[in-house]
């Protein structure tokens, strides 16, 4: 799953916000969301698959931390698409005034 | 943390009649003059939208909503890329028109694939 697909789900975006505050376990997240522990694990697997979180194992515990560099892809998309529209609208303004 | 859902919005003020601006949005030949590629638009619901630019993958889309003279929304994507939704909204102001462009990633459901056992 790519980063955009992973971020397209509002639950995953909300989970990512919590993870951004500090490394978190699936159990801790399950207490915060009205979904099953199994559903939390699936969302975490999607975020992991997209490279947005990193699994850190410590004994039997697995914590998830944010991999912020993947969000750079999103910022890159915004910059690229925004730049394209800036150029297009500049040409339109030049033509129409 | 900022909401990471990708979205771009731009607004430009143009000293032109709304009718003239609208033609530049929905007439493929006129749109090609400013979009930066060869643009075709069939300005009706479910009409086709294409943009072919030298050195870049072609983009294909479909008109999702249209209010003639006011706004047009289409969804488009390249063969390999993620779909996005583009809305061009036109608003008359005292000395011309204001055009607002929005392009955003679409939300779509993720399908989890579970292993099956015979």
Residue B85 lies in a domain: yes
Q: What is the pLDDT of residue A65?
A: 94
Q: Is residue B49 part of a domain?
A: yes
Q: What average pLDDT does range B27-50 have in this prediction?
A: 95
What is the predicted pLDDT for the residue at B38? Answer: 96
Task: Give me the pLDDT at residue B3, please.
Answer: 47
Q: Which two tokens stand for residue A32?
A: 């915060």
- Identify whether B112 is part of a domain: no
Touching check for B83 and chain A: CB below 8 Å? no
B106 contacts chain A (CB < 8 A): yes
Range of the domain at B49: 7-105
* Closest chain A residue by Cα to residue B99: A89
Question: Binning pLDDT at 50, 70 and 90, where does residue B107 land?
Answer: low
Q: How many domains does chain B have?
A: 1
- How far apart CA B12 and CA B100 sit, in angstroms, is 7
Question: What is the domain partition of chain A in residue ranges?
Answer: 3-96
Asked whether the beta carbons of A78 and A72 are under 8 A apart, the reply is: no
Q: Which residues of chain A have pLDDT under 70?
A: 1
Report whether A54 contacts A44 (CB < 8 A): no
Between B18-26 and B28-35, two packed helices, what is the crossing angle to 10 degrees? 90
Interface test with B, best of A2, A5, A6, A8 (most B CBs within 10 A): A8
Q: What CATH number should be reported for the domain holding residue B52?
A: 3.30.530.20
CA separation for the pair B73, B96 (Å, rounded): 22
Report, in this order, helix, strand and coil percent for chain B, each rounded to 5: 15, 45, 40
> What is the pTM for the complete model shown?
0.69
Q: Do B20 and A92 touch (CB under 8 A)?
A: no
| B51 CB neighbour count, 10 Å cutoff | 22
If you average pLDDT over residues B25-39, what whole number do you get? 95
Q: How far apart are CA B100 and CA B88, in angstroms?
A: 6
| A85/B6 Cα distance (integer angstroms) | 15
Chain B residues with CB under 8 Å of A95 CB are 24, 33-34
**pLDDT reported for residue A17:** 87
**What was the ipTM of the complex prediction?**
0.85
Hey, what CATH class is A3-96 in? mainly alpha
What pLDDT shows up at residue B76? 94
Task: Give yes or no for B113 touching A (CB within 8 A).
Answer: no
């Amino acid at each position: 799953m790519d980063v955009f697909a992973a971020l397209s789900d509002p639950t995953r975006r909300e989970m990512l916000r919590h993870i951004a505050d500090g490394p978190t376990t699936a159990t801790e997240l399950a207490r915060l969301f009205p979904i099953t522990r199994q559903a939390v694990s699936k969302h975490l697997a999607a975020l992991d698959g997209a490279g947005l979180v990193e699994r850190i194992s410590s004994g039997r515990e697995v914590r998830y931390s944010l991999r912020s560099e993947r969000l750079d892809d999103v910022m890159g998309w915004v910059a690229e698409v925004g730049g394209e529209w800036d150029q297009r609208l500049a040409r339109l303004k030049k033509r129409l005034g | 943390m900022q909401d990471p859902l990708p979205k771009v919005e731009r607004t430009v003020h143009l000293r032109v009649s709304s009718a003239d601006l609208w033609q530049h949005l929905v007439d493929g030949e006129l749109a090609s003059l400013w979009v930066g590629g060869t643009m075709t638009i069939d300005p009706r619901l479910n009409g086709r939208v294409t943009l072919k630019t030298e050195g870049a993958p072609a983009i294909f889309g479909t008109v999702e909503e249209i209010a003639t003279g006011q706004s047009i929304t289409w969804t488009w994507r390249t063969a390999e890329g993620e779909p996005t939704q583009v809305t061009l909204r036109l608003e008359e102001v005292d000395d011309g028109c204001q055009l607002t462009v929005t392009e955003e990633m679409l939300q779509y459901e993720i399908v989890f694939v579970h292993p099956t056992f015979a």
